[in-house]
Amino acid sequence: MTRLTAISNVVISHAPTPLEKLTNLSAALGVNIFVKRDDCTGLAGGGNKTRKLEYLLADAQNLGADTLVTIGGIQSNHARQTAAAAAKFSMGCELVLEDVEGTPKQDYYQNGNALINRLCHANTHLVPEGSTMDECVEQLLNKLNKQGKKPYFIPMGGSNELGSLGYVECAREIVQQTQQQDLSLDHIVVATGSGGTQAGLLAGFIAQKQTTPVLGICVSRSGAEQQHIVEPLLQQTLALLDLDRDLGIGHVHANGNYYGAGYGITTEQTREAIKRVAALEGILLDPVYTGKAMAGLIDLCEQGEFAQGQNILFIHTGGSQGLFAYQQEF
């Protein structure tokens, strides 16, 4: 991927992250479940946003920015990793966060990712009732510019074509690791929300002429709605790699059967998946992303959608820090 090497990035991730088999879960399901441990990328606990921030931070530096500005929910994993990246690179950090209706409130505002944001000295701006996130961001950027600062805005989840390059690189890692382990994958499963992780993986596999299907388990919307988010982002990422945008046609698959009532709101299946993986493998999933994705993977295995003996790779995108904001759910 010669075009990728020509695009600036900084080094944050503890990469390559491990790719390992979940032996006990595999035995329970009759399917060979492997996991790509992107919860181990480092940066205030790690997670998938760290890879995206490697490219976004380089762009911010090249533009002379001194302050990172981003958006998300109060327990956003992306906000936490952005706050940590800003600290690491001696930049200011401004987080525009909104409350999520239906989430547990006992620890939601002070624990988990919210606690880590404060430890990293990020400034949090809660979206007031009656305002939109876009309005708050515009006001904040204007204020920072008037103060003489040079803000750099990062979209939700770091999910634009530049951020998606982090998962083009992850796809390269996966191909190398499966070759080293003499492992042939039948399916890849990943939580999909803002879309950059799924789009980047697909672009990376397309660039390497790999055809393993990537199924996104939706965390906040229907499969059809999610496809409409990922498809254009995939095309933009392919174009950034100097590849034909049309190579992505037909590659985006999303399952919206497991997100429940909405973003950040757990389901019984999610809680059971989190408890099951912790008990069987000692691996922590989160209530917002990976718990829902694993709930979908387990159910699809039990329903026979994934055949006995197939090799399935689960992308662990991190987020276990959020568990501490959801303790009343458990």
pLDDT in tens, 139-190: 999 999 999 999 999 999 999 999 999 999 999 999 999 999 999 999 999 9
44 touches 116 (CB < 8 A): yes
Q: Is the pTM of the predicted complex or chain greater than 0.85? A: yes
Give the pLDDT band (50/70/90) at residue 129. Answer: confident
pLDDT in tens, 72-92: 999 999 999 999 999 999 999
pLDDT in tens, 6-15: 899 999 999 9
- Rounded CA-CA distance 217/196 in Å is 13
pLDDT at 1: 58
262 touches 72 (CB < 8 A): no
What is the mean predicted confidence (pLDDT) over 208-213?
A: 97
- Rounded CA-CA distance 98/155 in Å is 14
Q: Which residues are catalytic?
A: 76
Q: Is 270 exposed, middle or buried (0-12, 13-18, 19+ CB in 10 A)?
A: buried
Tokens 């600036």: give the residue. Answer: 8
**Which of 175, 72, 75, 81 shows the shortest CA–CA distance to 120?**
81
